[in-house]
Chains A and B, each alone.
Chain A
Amino acid sequence: MNDRSRDIGEFVPQPDDDMIVCRCEEITKGEIRRAVHDGMFTLTEIRRYLRTGMGLCQGQTCTKLVKAIVSRELGVRPNELEPATGRAPMRPIEMKILAKDKEDA
């Protein structure tokens, strides 16, 4: 899966490349497809490279969509892709609240 020497072919533009996929961070389908050709083969890499799924909804809307686009580009099944890591905080949270950690509330 992560074999970067694998030939996935040239980037071929598609008519709906300018369609927004990640609404929160306004990332388009074309940007995601290009990122794969730039060598981002995992969802974690795509996320760090483009910030897909890093916005307000935390990928609730676009995770599955991004996965489908990346897997199609790589020619693999979506469930073969390793999911991006889940980590705290699970939900967007204000920094001032995150910092107000009550050990013994």
Chain B
Amino acid sequence: MKRYDMIIVGAGPAGLSAAIEAAKRGMKVVVYDENAKPGGQLFKQIHKFFGSKEHKAKIRGFHIGEELLAEANSLGVEVVLNAIVIGLFPEKEVTVKIDDHVEHVKGDTVLIATGASENMVTFPGWTLPGVIGAGAAQTMMNLHGTLPGKRVLMLGSGNVGLVVSFQLMQAGCEVVALADAAPRVGGYGVHAAKVARCGVPFYLSHTIVKADGDEYVTGVTIGEVDKNWQVIPGTEKHFDVDTICLAVGLSPMSKLADMAGCAMEDNPAKAGFVPTVDKYGETSISGIYAAGDVSGIEEASSAMIEGRIAGIAAAAKLGFISEEECEAEVAKQETALDGLRQGMFAPGMRGKMITETEEGVEISQNLLKKGFVADEEIERFPGVTHNTGVHPVIECTQNIPCNPCQDACPKHCIKIGSNITALPAIDPEQKCTGCGMCVASCSGQAIFLVNEDCGDGTAEITLPYEFLPLPEKGAKGTALSRSGEAVCEAEVVNVRSAKAFDHTHLLTMKVPKEYAMKARFFKEAAKS
């Protein structure tokens, strides 16, 4: 029987990170993944990640996947694809289907990093072709280059629903509405805002009543729900769509841990049935670890750190490093993990109603109910200031662990400080040069450069733009408000693209100056 120091099931962010840490310390590591491509969900993530530099913030997800894979390969990690682990037995014996046979492999340690699967909801017509998971939509668009449909309704306002809605629009789909049975937007406000300003209406406290169609989806009816989640008669709204995308949460894929005999718990805070693990990610069975979504749903950045911890701990378990070294290294990772688990969206905050930021600024209720900050609310946030000449306007209104904008500004105009969840503030003493690095660095696309008065009755707004075709200088069109409503005519006066911007283009539009603080998106007029 083949034998490894560590067998890792799942080549996603947690699995690859663990492999890197273990291999770095001299361990012989194999990673099995049932997919044809490694990286788990990372290779579908075309958006820039949040966090700090150490957490790979502002790097697009698929680049993080490429980096991890390259590092694992250079360390001699064996990554076996199309390899389906079908069993985990006592004495850490793993059975894995490779090609046309089943292999038995033994690991001195095993890491279960199998991730999660998408939840579904049922409604009449939910089994029709055209009803798909948000993850499936991402797979089609970002891995296979196929449009899932033309007109889409998204159910779910968590980060997955918001991010995938935006990606659907980037791919060329029309997102007709975003609905969620919850009364408030579940994901980051900045993700919601970038979807809303493209004109997507948000329907909170709404669920799907039914999907229409005989052979496939031709339409959808949503309706408002009361406190008992029952649809209120008369509130139904119909949309002609060919695709209904469901982003209603994830469940840990923990069956392998269960069959291995690990102690399990059904913990709603971890979004399902998970193995109980200690601070090293070790389950109740010595030498079997679990990391990433399989041990509790979070996101890729924390999965990577959990993976690293498990890799380090496994190395100590087998004597590749000393206990002292392990403690020191794990402590470092824990600090990083704590940093990520701060702010309004931290795991411990689930379901809690937050009314003000850490700074004591009242949260935008409009953002939570409609997906955008209202004009009368935006002025109270510290990133939104007024000045003469070009200056940044940072519409970042919730405490999330993210700070690339602070490092991006060469003039140090933007201050977040050592508390990574603090809202960015503007230092009025520092002169903005309009370089745009902050605009491109903001993973939430929440930073704009505004010259409120160009002296000729106009204002110029520079915004992050990630759609194709890219409007050209001189293009005419409409400026859209934060809610996606047309507010005035606009002309593109500059479009900047640079390697350092990493595919976020900086589009500068000219609008009448009274719209300087209202216009936030550009829609090009249809070319005749």
A interface residue numbers (CB < 8 A to B): 16, 19-21, 23, 29, 60-65, 78-79, 83, 85-91, 93, 96-98, 100-105
In the complex the two chains form, is B87's CB within 8 Å of A90's CB? yes
If A19-B122, A20-B127, A86-B256 touch, whether A91 touches B104 (CB-CB below 8 Å) is: no
Please give the distance in Å from A30's CB to the nearest CB on chain B.
12
The residue on A at minimum CB distance from B89 is A88
Contact with A along B248-262 (1 / 0, CB 8 A): 000101111111000
In whole angstroms, how far apart are the Cα atoms of A63 and B258 in the complex? 15
In the complex the two chains form, is A91's CB within 8 Å of B273's CB? no
In whole angstroms, how far apart are the Cα atoms of A87 and B256 in the complex? 8
In the complex the two chains form, is B122's CB within 8 Å of A90's CB? no
Residues on A with beta carbons closer than 8 Å to the beta carbon of B85: 90
Asked if B352 CB lies within 8 Å of chain A CBs, one says no
The residue on B at minimum CB distance from A101 is B102
Please give the distance in Å from B458's CB to the nearest CB on chain A.
54
Asked if B100 CB lies within 8 Å of chain A CBs, one says yes
Please give the distance in Å from A77's CB to the nearest CB on chain B.
9
| Contact residues of B between 86 and 131, Cβ < 8 Å to A | 86-89, 95, 97-98, 100-104, 117, 119-120, 122-124, 126-127
In whole angstroms, how far apart are the Cα atoms of A63 and B254 in the complex? 12
Please give the distance in Å from B114's CB to the nearest CB on chain A.
9
In the complex the two chains form, is B95's CB within 8 Å of A88's CB? yes
If A65-B120, A79-B268 touch, whether A90 touches B256 (CB-CB below 8 Å) is: yes
Residues on A with beta carbons closer than 8 Å to the beta carbon of B268: 79
| Contact residues of B between 242 and 292, Cβ < 8 Å to A | 251, 253-259, 264, 266-268, 272-273
In the complex the two chains form, is B84's CB within 8 Å of A93's CB? yes
In the complex the two chains form, is A97's CB within 8 Å of B97's CB? yes
Size category of the B interface is 35 or more
Residues on A with beta carbons closer than 8 Å to the beta carbon of B100: 96-97, 100
Residues on A with beta carbons closer than 8 Å to the beta carbon of B353: none
The residue on A at minimum CB distance from B102 is A101
Please give the distance in Å from A75's CB to the nearest CB on chain B.
16
In the complex the two chains form, is B258's CB within 8 Å of A90's CB? no
The residue on A at minimum CB distance from B259 is A86
In the complex the two chains form, is A102's CB within 8 Å of B104's CB? yes
Asked if B1 CB lies within 8 Å of chain A CBs, one says yes
Tally of A-B Cβ pairs under 8 angstroms: 90
Residues on B with beta carbons closer than 8 Å to the beta carbon of A83: 258, 264, 266, 273
In the complex the two chains form, is B122's CB within 8 Å of A79's CB? no
Residues on B with beta carbons closer than 8 Å to the beta carbon of A98: 102
User: Can you list 22 A-B pairs with a CB-CB distance of less than 8 A?
Assistant: A16-B122, A19-B123, A21-B122, A23-B127, A60-B253, A78-B266, A79-B266, A79-B267, A86-B255, A86-B257, A87-B87, A87-B259, A88-B95, A88-B259, A89-B87, A89-B97, A93-B86, A97-B100, A98-B102, A104-B1, A104-B2, A105-B104
Asked if B34 CB lies within 8 Å of chain A CBs, one says yes
In the complex the two chains form, is B251's CB within 8 Å of A88's CB? no
In the complex the two chains form, is A16's CB within 8 Å of B259's CB? no
Given contacts A60-B253, A88-B259, 6 further A-B contacts (CB under 8 A): A86-B256, A89-B87, A93-B97, A96-B100, A97-B101, A100-B102
If A97-B100, A105-B103 touch, whether A16 touches B124 (CB-CB below 8 Å) is: yes
Residues on B with beta carbons closer than 8 Å to the beta carbon of A29: 122
Please give the distance in Å from A67's CB to the nearest CB on chain B.
9
Please give the distance in Å from A54's CB to the nearest CB on chain B.
13
Residues on A with beta carbons closer than 8 Å to the beta carbon of B1: 103-104
Residues on A with beta carbons closer than 8 Å to the beta carbon of B103: 102, 105
In the complex the two chains form, is B119's CB within 8 Å of A64's CB? yes
The residue on B at minimum CB distance from A61 is B120
Q: Which of A62, A85, A97 sits near B102, CB closer than 8 Å?
A: A97
The residue on B at minimum CB distance from A89 is B86
Q: For the complex of A and B, list the 9 residue pairs with the smallest distance between their C-beta atoms, beginning with the closest.
A: A88-B87, A86-B255, A86-B258, A89-B86, A79-B266, A86-B259, A100-B101, A105-B103, A60-B117
In whole angstroms, how far apart are the Cα atoms of A67 and B248 in the complex? 16
The residue on A at minimum CB distance from B99 is A97
In whole angstroms, how far apart are the Cα atoms of A79 and B273 in the complex? 8
Please give the distance in Å from B218's CB to the nearest CB on chain A.
19
